[in-house]
Amino acid sequence: MSIEFKDRVAIVTGAGGGLGRQHALGLAARGARVLVNDLGGAVNGAGGSVTAAQSVVDEIRALGGQALANGASVTDAAAVQGMVQQAIDAWGRVDILVNNAGILRDKSFAKMDLADFRLVMEVHVMGAVHCTQAVWPHMVAQKYGRIVMTTSSSGLYGNFGQANYGAAKMALVGLMQTLSIEGLKHDIRVNCLAPTAATRMTEGLMPEDVLRALRPEAVVPAMLVLASQDAPNRTILCAGAGTFEAAHITLTPGLHLGVDAQTPERLAARLAEVAARSGETVPQSGGEQGANEVGKAFAHGARA
């Protein structure tokens, strides 16, 4: 079954280079009309120019595709609304949003300036919120939408020196979890992509042969699946070097220990059993945790 995007309109943020550029080219190669957004700033978010976005637009057009450039900062809610309106004015709809824009301000937590923490959260989290909220009413009206959040192994599993980046990337998973529930009745499917790719953010951090294996193009197939008509919903898809995995936030069966003065001691003594992963599940909503807890309490006679 071929994945194609004829008559679809996509917005890709942070698409002036690296992974975002490959996302834009990949969507365009399969027929999508692509609005290429990029502030044109440095890796740390400084500066800005629409030149990077226009360069990718020129590439797409040279290959026979349709594309528009946009230089809005995803941190500027009004500019983001204008970006979405640009796509609507040109093509009448928005079917796909790939929230890819991001910056790095790496430093160990003890040495990190709070301004750098806030800025990374603002770009990654609020940037995705601004873009998603701007496209949402259009997707609801047309009863169709595919939204890809870019998370990271740094958020899912942690990485030294990236407390701000990791917190932001895990926040996007939480955003995806709820939006995938709220959007389902409108056929708006929301997923997360956790890429491992060599971009200007990773220059100098890995050996050359590893960087070649982790070329950004190797991640694009995962994005295309998440952006496609037959996309899943609420999936955290990981990709790098042509390898693909799925990450899950799971819940162990747990133990009912009651609530009394000695509960902390019983919990400490049996914590390994509580954490045991045999029989773990992937809850489909937050309510399933509470249902499991109350169910076990009632099964034990709901004793205090």
Cβ–Cβ under 8 Å, residues 226 and 151: no
DSSP 276: -
Count other Cβ atoms within 10 Å, centred on residue 177: 18
Count other Cβ atoms within 10 Å, centred on residue 276: 14
| 3-state helix/strand/coil string of 179-237 | HHHHHHHHCEEEEEEEECCCCCCCCCCCCHHHHHHCCHHHCHHHHHHHHCCCCCCCCEE
**Whole-angstrom Cα distance, residue 267 to residue 260?**
11
- If you compute the radius of gyration of the chain from its CA atoms, what whole number of angstroms results? 21
Cβ–Cβ under 8 Å, residues 103 and 152: no
**Whole-angstrom Cα distance, residue 75 to residue 18?**
20
What does residue 283 show for φ and ψ, rounded to 5 degrees?
-60, 145
What does residue 60 show for φ and ψ, rounded to 5 degrees?
-65, -45
- Which is catalytic among the residues 165, 173, 220, 222? 165
Sort 43 into a burial class: Cβ within 10 Å, 0-12 / 13-18 / 19+. middle
In the residue annotation, 157 being an active-site residue is answered as no
Q: Where are the alpha helices (DSSP H) in the chain?
A: 18-29, 51-62, 77-91, 114-121, 127-142, 153-156, 163-183, 208-213, 220-227, 263-269, 271-275, 287-299
**Whole-angstrom Cα distance, residue 37 to residue 225?**
21
**Which residues form the catalytic set?**
165
